[in-house]
Amino acid sequence: MKVFKFGGASVKDASAVRNIFKILSDLPEKEQLVVVVSAMGKTTNALEDIYRKAHQRQEFAPALESSKAYHLDIVRELFPDPGCPVYAEVAAQFQELEQTLSSLQPDHWDQQYDQVISRGELLSSIILHHYLQSQGLSTYWLDCRTCLRTDSTWREGRLDWTYTENQIQSTLPAILQKQIVITQGFIGGTADGLTTTLGREGSDYSAAIFAYCLNAASLTIWKDVPGLLNADPKLFKEATRYDEVAYQEAIEMAYYGASVIHPKTIQPLANKCIPLYVKSFLHPELPGTVIHDCQHGKIAPSFILKQNQCLLSFKAKDLGFISEEHLSAIFQAVHAVRLKINMMQNSALSFSVCCDYDEARVQQLKLSLSDQFIIKYNQPLHLFTIQNYDKGSIQRLTNGREILMEQRTRHTFQFVSRPTDTIEH
Ligand X SMILES: Nc1ncnc2c1ncn2[C@@H]1O[C@H](COP(=O)(O)OP(=O)(O)O)[C@@H](O)[C@H]1O
> Contact residues for ligand PHD (CB under 6 A)?
7-8, 38-39, 44, 120, 185-186, 200-203
Q: Using CA atoms in the order 20, 25, 30, 33, what is the torsion angle rounded to 10 degrees?
A: 0
Residue 11 φ then ψ, to 5°: -135, 30
Q: Name which position in 234, 335, 411, 418 contacts ligand X (CB under 6 A).
A: 234
Cβ at position 234, least distance to ligand X in Å: 4
The item of ligand X, ligand PHD, none sharing an interface with residue 213, based on CB under 5 to 8 Å by kind, is none
Nearer CB in complex with ligand PHD: 132/198: 198
The length of the chain is 425
Q: Name which position in 3, 10, 126, 254 contacts ligand X (CB under 6 A).
A: 10
Nearer CB in complex with ligand PHD: 185/301: 185
Q: What does the alpha-carbon distance between residue 158 and residue 143 come to, in Å, rounded to a whole number? A: 18
Q: Tell me: does residue 307 bind ligand X (CB under 6 A).
A: no
**Nearest CA-CA partner of 265 in 223, 234, 326, 317:** 223
Q: Terminus-to-terminus CA distance in the chain, angstroms?
A: 47
Cβ at position 24, least distance to ligand PHD in Å: 18
Task: Find the angle CA(398)-CA(354)-CA(305) to the nearest 5 degrees.
Answer: 45
CB atoms near residue 182 (< 10 Å): 28
Q: What does the alpha-carbon distance between residue 19 and residue 13 come to, in Å, rounded to a whole number? A: 10
Look at residue 373 and give its three-state secondary structure.
strand
**Nearest CA-CA partner of 220 in 287, 306, 173:** 287
Q: What does the alpha-carbon distance between residue 170 and residue 354 come to, in Å, rounded to a whole number? A: 44
Cβ at position 233, least distance to ligand PHD in Å: 16
The item of ligand PHD, ligand X, none sharing an interface with residue 200, based on CB under 5 to 8 Å by kind, is ligand PHD
Q: Tell me: does residue 224 bind ligand X (CB under 6 A).
A: yes
Amino acid at 300: A
Cβ at position 263, least distance to ligand X in Å: 12
The item of ligand PHD, ligand X, none sharing an interface with residue 39, based on CB under 5 to 8 Å by kind, is ligand PHD
Q: Name which position in 260, 353, 355, 423 contacts ligand X (CB under 6 A).
A: 260
Q: Tell me: does residue 254 bind ligand X (CB under 6 A).
A: no
The item of ligand X, ligand PHD, none sharing an interface with residue 44, based on CB under 5 to 8 Å by kind, is ligand PHD
Q: Name which position in 49, 156, 165, 232 contacts ligand X (CB under 6 A).
A: 232
**Nearest CA-CA partner of 103 in 68, 54, 152:** 54
Q: Name which position in 229, 250, 276, 330 contacts ligand X (CB under 6 A).
A: 229
Q: Tell me: does residue 152 bind ligand X (CB under 6 A).
A: no
Nearer CB in complex with ligand PHD: 45/372: 45
Q: Tell me: does residue 258 bind ligand X (CB under 6 A).
A: yes
Q: What does the alpha-carbon distance between residue 375 and residue 290 come to, in Å, rounded to a whole number? A: 44
Number of residues counted as binding ligand X (CB under 6 A): 18
Residue 367 φ then ψ, to 5°: -60, -45
Give helix 14-25 / helix 119-134 axis angle, nearest 10°.
60
Task: Find the angle CA(176)-CA(181)-CA(186) to the nearest 5 degrees.
Answer: 135
Q: What is the DSSP letter of 146?
A: G
What is the tally of helices (H) and strands (E) in the chain? 13, 16
Cβ at position 205, least distance to ligand PHD in Å: 8
Nearer CB in complex with ligand X: 143/232: 232
Nearer CB in complex with ligand PHD: 260/330: 260
Cβ at position 53, least distance to ligand PHD in Å: 18
Cβ at position 217, least distance to ligand X in Å: 21
**Contact flags string 190-219 toward ligand X, x per CB under 6 A:** -----------x------------------
Q: Is 288 left (phi over 0), alpha (psi -120 to 50) or beta?
A: left
The item of ligand PHD, ligand X, none sharing an interface with residue 228, based on CB under 5 to 8 Å by kind, is ligand X
Q: Which secondary-structure segment (H or E) carries 205?
A: helix 203-213
Give one DSSP letter per residue of 274-296, joined into a string. Answer: --EEEEESS-TTS--EEEES---
Q: Are 182 and 238 in contact (CB under 8 A)?
A: no
Q: Tell me: does residue 252 bind ligand X (CB under 6 A).
A: no
Look at residue 161 and give its three-state secondary structure.
helix
Cβ at position 42, least distance to ligand PHD in Å: 8
**Contact flags string 24-43 toward ligand X, x per CB under 6 A:** --------------x-----
Cβ at position 201, least distance to ligand X in Å: 6
Site residues (vs ligand X, CB under 6 A)? 7-10, 38, 201, 223-225, 228-229, 231-234, 258-260
